[in-house]
Structure 1
C-alpha cells in the first residue's frame, strides 16, 4: 500500500538530482556530477526494483510515471532558481544608444559595442553583454525599457577568460 507513495517520492527527488548532475556535467564539474550520479543510480535502482517486483500493480507504475513528470517540473524550477553560469547577449540596434550602454555599465554588466553594416550599407550597432544567469531578467528589463525594438540573441557560456567581469570578480574576492 505504501509502495506507490514511496515510488512517487523517489521519482520526485530523482529528477531534480538528474537536473543538477546534468548542469554540473555541462559546466565541466565532472567530479561533483559523478558523486551526484551515485545517488541518482541508487534511487533509480531502488524505485525500479519496487516497480519490477510486481508489474501487475498498476498503482506502482502510475506512481512512477507521475513522480517522473512532477520531478521534471521540480528540476526545471530548481534549474531556474539556481541559474548557474553565465550568459552573453548580443543586442542589435539601428541606432547607437549611449543611454543603454551607460546604464548597463552602471549596473555592473560587461559591455562591448561594435559598429557594423546592414543590408543597404546602413550602420548597425551591436552591444555584447556578459552577465551571470541570475541577472538575466534584470538585463532584459533594462533593454526592454531603453531599447524596446532591439533584436536580442543570447548564448550560454561554458567558460571564459579575461575581460571586465573577471576583473570585477577578483575585486570582490579581496
Structure 2
C-alpha cells in the first residue's frame, strides 16, 4: 500500500513540474526549464521503477495513470496562478470611450486606439497589452465601461519597445 501511495504522490509532483517546464520552455525561460527537467527526470525514473518492480503491477499502473491525470489538473492550476508572460487584448467598441481609455491608462495599461469600419459602420478598436496576471482585472474594467465590447485575448510571443516595456525597465532599476 505504501508503494501505491508513493506512486500517486510522485505523479502529483512529477506532472505539474512537467507542465511548468514545458511552459517555461515555450516562454523562453530555458534556465528554469532545464532545472525543472533535471528534477522531472529524477522523479520520473524513480516512479517508473516502483511501478515496474512492484508485485501488484496492474494496480500500480492504474494509480500511475490516475496520478498523471490529477497532476495535469494541479499543473494547470499552478500555471494559471503564476500567470507568466503577457496578454494582448483587442477590444472592439461601437464608439470611442474616452473615459474607459483614461481609466485603463491610469491603471497602468498600455492602450492604443484605432478607428475602423465594421459591418454596421464605424467602430473603435483598442489594443491593450498587460501582464497575464492582470488580464482578469483588465477585462473587468472594460466590461464595466463597455458591457457589449467584443474582446479578443492572445499571448504575444515577442515585442520591442513601447509603453509597457519602458515602464518595466524603469521599475526594475
TM-score (ref. length: structure 2): 0.94
Specify the alignment match of 2:171 in structure 1.
Answer: 172
- Assess, with a 3 A threshold, how the Cα gap between structure 1 residues 55 and 160 changes in structure 2: closer, same or farther: farther
SS at structure 1 position matched to 2:155: strand
- Distance in 1, Cα, partners of 2:74 & 2:34: 21
Specify the alignment match of 1:25 in structure 2.
Answer: 25
Of 77-86 and 55-64, deviating more is: 55-64
**1:85 and 1:158 in contact (8 A); partners too:** no
- Assess, with a 3 A threshold, how the Cα gap between structure 1 residues 91 and 111 changes in structure 2: closer, same or farther: same
- Distance in 2, Cα, partners of 1:100 & 1:55: 65
SS at structure 1 position matched to 2:170: helix
SS at structure 2 position matched to 1:126: strand
The alignment status of 1:139 with 2:134, answered yes or no, reads no
Q: How large is the Cα RMSD of the aligned pairs? A: 1.4
Displacement of 1:45: 1.3
Specify the alignment match of 2:128 in structure 1.
Answer: 129
Specify the alignment match of 1:99 in structure 2.
Answer: 99
TM-score (ref. length: structure 1): 0.94
Specify the alignment match of 2:148 in structure 1.
Answer: 149
Specify the alignment match of 2:61 in structure 1.
Answer: 61
Structure 2 unaligned residues grouped into runs of 5+:
none
Specify the alignment match of 1:3 in structure 2.
Answer: 3
CA deviation vs aligned residue, 1:21-53 (integer Å, no higher than 9, x gap): 011101111232122112111111111111112
**1:87 and 1:133 in contact (8 A); partners too:** yes
Displacement of 1:58: 2.9
Q: How many residue pairs were aligned?
A: 173
Structure 1 unaligned residues grouped into runs of 5+:
none
Alignment of 1:43-122 (within 5 A): 43-54=43-54, 56-119=56-119, 122=121
- Distance in 1, Cα, partners of 2:48 & 2:7: 8
